[in-house]
Amino acid sequence: MITAAISIETFVATEHQLDSVTAIESVSAATPWTRNQFAQEVANPHAWWGLARSGATIVGFVGLHQVIDEGHIVNIAVDPLWRRRRVAMRLLLAAFDEGWARAILAMTLEVRGSAISAQRLYHRFGFVPTGIRPHYYPSTAELPAEDAVIMWTEPLTYPDQEMRLARVRAVLKVSP
């Protein structure tokens, strides 16, 4: 397994960042967010968006919403040319670090029931299924409507959760 040399930067909606994120989103999501939605997200004081960069190239992004003491991962995607190089792991780790800095207690997200690769990724960070939102994802020209699996982590301060993140850091060779 190759682990790409990646740096993380905050999404501040420069033209280059918006172009890159919109392009990655358009080839990653069944119902892609628009450039305008991303621009609005960056202005949301309760949100943090991180970008993964290799040299001058933006190769992935992650979005975190803070709802009091909950952290919601609202979107994550990696350029198809850069997948399976642990870019998403690096992005999620950065989102957890941001969550920790904001005193977030636990993290949650929704994922398509059919998105097995994403669920494997989330499992490494301690997300476990806790419920279903029926027909959460509307049908598209290519896909039927689909349920969302709701996933939650344990509180970030629990020793088991800290251990999981320590294992992720070790794999990525990233220090706390």
Ligand X SMILES: CC(C)(COP(=O)(O)OP(=O)(O)OC[C@H]1O[C@@H](n2cnc3c(N)ncnc32)[C@H](O)[C@@H]1OP(=O)(O)O)[C@@H](O)C(=O)NCCC(=O)NCCS
Q: Which is nearer to ligand X, 78 or 156 (CB)?
A: 78
What is the C-alpha to C-alpha distance for residues 81 and 58, in angstroms, rounded to an integer? 12
What is the C-alpha to C-alpha distance for residues 169 and 72, in angstroms, rounded to an integer? 21
The C-alpha angle with vertex 11 and arms to 48 and 26, in degrees rounded to 5, equals 100
**Exactly one of 98, 122, 137, 146 is catalytic; which is it?**
122
Query: Site mask, ligand X, residues 107-146, x = CB under 6 A?
Result: ----x---x-xx-xx--x----------------------
Amino acid at 101: A
Active site residue 136: no
H or E element in which residue 131 lies: strand 128-137
What is the C-alpha to C-alpha distance for residues 25 and 61, in angstroms, rounded to an integer? 9
Active site residue 9: no
Site for ligand X in 77-106 (CB under 6 A): 77-78, 83-89
Which residues are near ligand X by CB under 6 A?
Answer: 1, 28, 76-78, 83-89, 111, 115, 117-118, 120-121, 124
Q: Please list the active-site residues.
A: 110, 122
